[in-house]
Structure 1
């Protein structure tokens, strides 16, 4: 995220569960940033990911798994188990200069794991607010923390620009304060070593919960030169760097054959890559693939249940417990999924019906196999990987004119048409009306959007040249 226009984020999410002999399994949850659907080896990518492929092959692949198209909302739903419309984070991300954060009115996933007897640790990217000390990760359920609080920074210097000032300030912290001695240490290597240190120092008296949120492969595209050599055959320089270092094509990621990209409501901005592996799964589940509908908010109740915890003190959850679906192959308890309703996003076109949800508002949801999109979903192109464009694919099929400003309703059967080629909104108006009613009911439960103006007091120059709380 090295500029305002590049602030949107697609998340690859995968996680590893390692059991211990105790009833409560150790949990290592790994989240990679800006990772596209076509950026993992087992989806046919030219990028080789043998370790991830091996882990996924021995676990359960989640092939109907959804996250949010940008960063803060995905992380907020992971940590709260609640939709954006119920936390006020419906619009955009939390910028470093904003006095904003994941609301304090409900315990985080880390809080609940700690309450269940876990030792809780986080390494990597927070991006859930830090303008007050109460919002810092070590005050939100994590015993230890090592990482950065903003949304992006230099991989080597760990500096982040303040606005458009061309002045950069340190954003690297642990639970004891700023970390000033790691300049030059590439963040992927640094965070990996810190995670290994957490595991090696863990005492068996408690089960372990480690949340590992990599900076990779988010922009800026930076990678040690030695890793570029194995991808010399990729002609596109951005893609070649990304391969080592998503879904954001101009930043090297790729979602093909899905439509759209990071920041959009097409499946290329929402459909994540995920798998579960480890000893908490039975041997019978090794190598399985599930197409059950699973959402990032589901990890909250799934992991709390797995930890033997309870939901006392929680506000109503939107996530559902998916452990039986993952570990036994049971049908998913999730039949519907709200992608988002964003009332602050610029409206598009006129409402389709006077007595239904306003279709000029940017929103999207799933009900069974159907997906409805309203408003302006963002760029809807299909983009083959740069190294293979015009070689393997019929580009006339995958490159099309963008929708006009007048159209603001799309309906797809994602099961039959996962690449969103066939809009059914005119063929099946009754389905559209039913889903618009569902959107109206969900919208009625929304809380006001939290998107405050930038605060000049956030300037790190006023706080020892370090990003951190200012209130």
Structure 2
């Protein structure tokens, strides 16, 4: 396999292109739902390896923490919710990031898109955490055209950067197109033969607010619900961006030695317009619909087995050690992630049989998977139903009450219709013990109150580091 050749010095480490879609629903891609128009993503997914059991965190910041550190969020203090721009929260500096590790292995590292791991001090921003360049925004959501952030919890401010400088893309340019143009610019600056590229593309798409050029929305004229129609158009605009970037990779010679990984950062927000059918729940919940990401891997020639759906367990923390091993490095002992290259390249059994969905000391809920069984402790979240395609008529069970523990056999019941906790008290006891084992290692959530020092009015109307 390639990794063995790399370790023997017989092959160059691959270019790694890591694409992250924001709030993309399980049922919002063409390989799961033929009502979606995503030909570029579909072609790569079906020609590569569709990852059917690739798990992420319930919301944005915790998943990005996993990608960047290889550690569960409950080991970094980022397990609860997403960071708001006025909160002095961040990925702790004691964690060495993936791009920092790759820099040590002579990779050139670039990021385009959404950071969402804190920015109250410069040392927590991308170009101080291992990226040679960064273009994008620090926070979690913003206008797709104006790059302004503001709601009832925040002050209004502008959030878009090129490295450390405030950057203003052309007026009226849609975010997905801005990201695409910058990605292609990076490809033009890197030698595909003599350089090794790590390109991290955490797209703004398809997070709220629901905004897209009209031609993409018009592709779904048969959908009567405005929000869903716009959202689906956003997915197709994302698909076109991915297609344009992939074409640029091929045209410039990168695809001879490149791995593309595509994943959502969490489940779709069904309360807004996304759909996770047949999975249960939404973004922010511990249900499969909130935590199982639509994902695939693709390469022209680095994968030994292609054109199939892989059902092996993979977690977001695994990308760090997998990429690092491919690059010729060695993951740190004690890291939560494991190298999954044999699994994704050849279909070998997963390197893990267990993972923790999350442990949230503020919401007082948690979930763990061991083998086929999933245990949920406490309330899984606010959106607990199976949200249908428009028109949206079913209840989301927001006021439902739940027992202290629920148990599901995910292999038999992936849609989580049947709580079998009462039928298998021995399994519940075993999984509670495993969950308690992990709880003993948890660090407290670093959730902080809003700080008036963050007010963009203090920085010329821009969300800017330097206030914590």
**Which SS does the other structure have where 2:423 is aligned?**
coil
CA shift for structure 1 position 183? 3.3
Report whether the alignment pairs 1:195 with 2:183: yes
**Paired residues of 1:364 and 1:373 also in contact (CA < 8 A):** yes
Which residue matches 1:64? 53
CA shift for structure 1 position 328? 1.4
Alpha carbons of 1:37 and 1:445: their partners in 2 closer, same or farther (altered >3 Å)? same
Counterparts of 2:55 and 2:422 in 1: how far apart (Å)?
Answer: 26
Report whether the alignment pairs 1:429 with 2:418: no
Counterparts of 1:323 and 1:442 in 2: how far apart (Å)?
Answer: 25
Which residue matches 2:300? 279
CA shift for structure 1 position 228? 1.7
Alpha carbons of 1:135 and 1:162: their partners in 2 closer, same or farther (altered >3 Å)? farther
Please give the TM-score of this superposition, normalised by the length of structure 2: 0.87
CA shift for structure 1 position 310? 2.5
Which residue matches 2:439? 443
Report whether the alignment pairs 1:317 with 2:335: yes
Alpha carbons of 1:401 and 1:71: their partners in 2 closer, same or farther (altered >3 Å)? closer
**Which SS does the other structure have where 1:253 is aligned?**
coil
Which residue matches 1:351? none
**Paired residues of 1:39 and 1:45 also in contact (CA < 8 A):** no
Which residue matches 2:166? 178
Alpha carbons of 1:239 and 1:320: their partners in 2 closer, same or farther (altered >3 Å)? same
CA shift for structure 1 position 31? 0.3
CA shift for structure 1 position 248? 1.2
Report whether the alignment pairs 1:73 with 2:93: no
**Which SS does the other structure have where 1:341 is aligned?**
strand
Report whether the alignment pairs 1:141 with 2:111: no
Counterparts of 2:169 and 2:38 in 1: how far apart (Å)?
Answer: 31
> Tell me, which stretches of 5 or more residues in structure 1 are unaligned?
1-18, 346-360
CA shift for structure 1 position 162? 6.3
Report whether the alignment pairs 1:221 with 2:224: no
Counterparts of 1:48 and 1:408 in 2: how far apart (Å)?
Answer: 41
| Among candidates 274, 293, 299, match of residue 313 of structure 2 | 293
Counterparts of 2:339 and 2:145 in 1: how far apart (Å)?
Answer: 39
- Which aligned pairs between 1:1-400 and structure 2 lie closer than 5 A? 22-161=11-150, 164=153, 168-203=156-191, 204-245=193-234, 246-282=267-303, 284-311=304-331, 314=332, 316-345=334-363, 361-378=364-381, 379-386=383-390
Which residue matches 2:412? 416
CA shift for structure 1 position 463? 1.1
CA shift for structure 1 position 163? 5.0
CA shift for structure 1 position 460? 0.8
**Paired residues of 1:97 and 1:454 also in contact (CA < 8 A):** yes
CA shift for structure 1 position 22? 4.9
Higher helix share: 2
CA shift for structure 1 position 405? 3.5
Alpha carbons of 1:400 and 1:467: their partners in 2 closer, same or farther (altered >3 Å)? closer
Counterparts of 2:448 and 2:398 in 1: how far apart (Å)?
Answer: 32
CA shift for structure 1 position 181? 4.4
**Which SS does the other structure have where 2:421 is aligned?**
coil
**Paired residues of 2:218 and 2:233 also in contact (CA < 8 A):** no
**Paired residues of 2:379 and 2:402 also in contact (CA < 8 A):** no
Counterparts of 1:461 and 1:403 in 2: how far apart (Å)?
Answer: 39
**Paired residues of 1:259 and 1:419 also in contact (CA < 8 A):** yes
Which residue matches 1:16? none
**Which SS does the other structure have where 2:441 is aligned?**
coil
Task: Show CA shifts across 1:296-334 (max 9, x none).
Answer: 1100000000000123xx473101100001111111011
**Paired residues of 1:106 and 1:315 also in contact (CA < 8 A):** no
CA shift for structure 1 position 92? 1.1
CA shift for structure 1 position 431? 0.6
Counterparts of 1:469 and 1:423 in 2: how far apart (Å)?
Answer: 47
Alpha carbons of 1:401 and 1:448: their partners in 2 closer, same or farther (altered >3 Å)? closer
Please give the TM-score of this superposition, normalised by the length of structure 1: 0.87
Aligned-CA RMSD value: 1.9
**Paired residues of 1:254 and 1:384 also in contact (CA < 8 A):** yes
Which residue matches 1:457? 453
